[in-house]
Structure 1
Amino acid sequence: MGEISSSSSIESHVSTTSWSIYKNYPLISALISFLLAQSIKVFTTWCKERRWDAKQLIGSGGMPSSHSATVTALAVAIGFKDGFGGSVFAIAAILACVVMYDSSGVRLHAGRHAEVLNQIVFELPEEHPLSDTRPLREVLGHTPPQVIAGALLGFVTASIAYLIEKVIAQ
């Protein structure tokens, strides 16, 4: 008999826990910010190149930075929810800084290296063993304006989500 009540208790806890994820304001803010940034990339590509590119929905690079939007929304939402003086906000803020630095530094330069390597391979004679090598992906990172735009998007998304949560809670 003890097993049945224990099992029911666990099922109840799992059910409550699984539904509470939908109320996790920082997580929801980060996911919405990511989805918005990826969606916006489709439109910025169209404005820049006059072509629709659905691959932008899942690709990295481009305007705005979905990396920056996601981690900024997460950090700001944690700050609003738990306070900007707490340890969890400090962790999220440092994570956001590292991700944004990496996307505009290391990953941006890796993309530029790929561009140069692709040009070198393109200029190889046909008989060279590497002449038919598949091109490397060149758009890996973000320029500083793309990172800033992503961070602003993340801040705005988390702020609006916070206001909505406050209205719903009343």
Structure 2
Amino acid sequence: MQLQISSGLLYPLLPFIAWLASGTLKYAINTIRHGQEARKLIGNGGFPSTHTAVVSSVAMLTGFDQGWSTPLFGLAVALTFIVMIDAVGIRRAVGESAERINALTLEISAAAETKKLRERQGHTRLEVSGGLALGMLLGFVASRLLV
């Protein structure tokens, strides 16, 4: 007996599943690499890119369900590209800027208590590729569950 889910339920559920799967995988990888420090690394940045996994999973599901040459699939792919470009471009630059600002703040006011800016914002191409692979896999699996 095969589990089947209606598309009306699967489309809004899949982004949550992708977010959960990516976050769990990211936490497991951070725990292996950084041990107890993994809790401090929860959030933006890291492998795999959760943003990319979320949008690419829905893009893949759309392709399998609605067709690869439909306007809806084209829109989903465009959104996926925007998210990936943003992750390796703008968000990564924000993280690098935060790192420099934190270093300057530390130099200027070493004695003062200042809250550091979060430096892990964007992603490397490998991290985005990992999110894309995870999202594509989840989109494929989800497409097999459609009624």
Structure of higher RCO (CA pairs closer than 8 Å, 6+ residues apart): 2
Q: Which entry has the higher C-alpha Rg, 1 or 2?
A: 1
1:145 aligns with 2:126: yes
User: What is the root-mean-square deviation of aligned Cα atoms in Å?
Assistant: 2.1
Q: CA deviation at 1:134?
A: 1.2
Q: Which runs of at least 4 in structure 1 moved beyond 4 Å after TM superposition?
A: 54-57
Helix, strand or coil at the partner of 2:122: coil
Q: CA deviation at 1:82?
A: 0.7
**What's the TM-score, normalizing by structure 2?**
0.87
Aligned length: 143
Q: Does the CA-based 8 Å contact 1:69-1:152 persist in structure 2?
A: yes
1:94 aligns with 2:78: yes
Q: Does the CA-based 8 Å contact 1:22-1:28 persist in structure 2?
A: no
Post-superposition CA distance 1:102-137 (Å, at most 9, x none):
01110011101100110111111457xxx4331111
Helix, strand or coil at the partner of 1:63: coil
1:65 aligns with 2:46: no
1:51 aligns with 2:44: no
Identity, in percent, stands at 29
Distance change in 2, residues 1:137/1:52 (3 Å): closer
Q: CA deviation at 1:73?
A: 0.3
Distance change in 2, residues 1:124/1:155 (3 Å): same
Q: Partner residue of 1:40?
A: 25
Which one of 132, 135, 138 corresponds to residue 154 of structure 1?
135
Q: Partner residue of 2:64?
A: 80
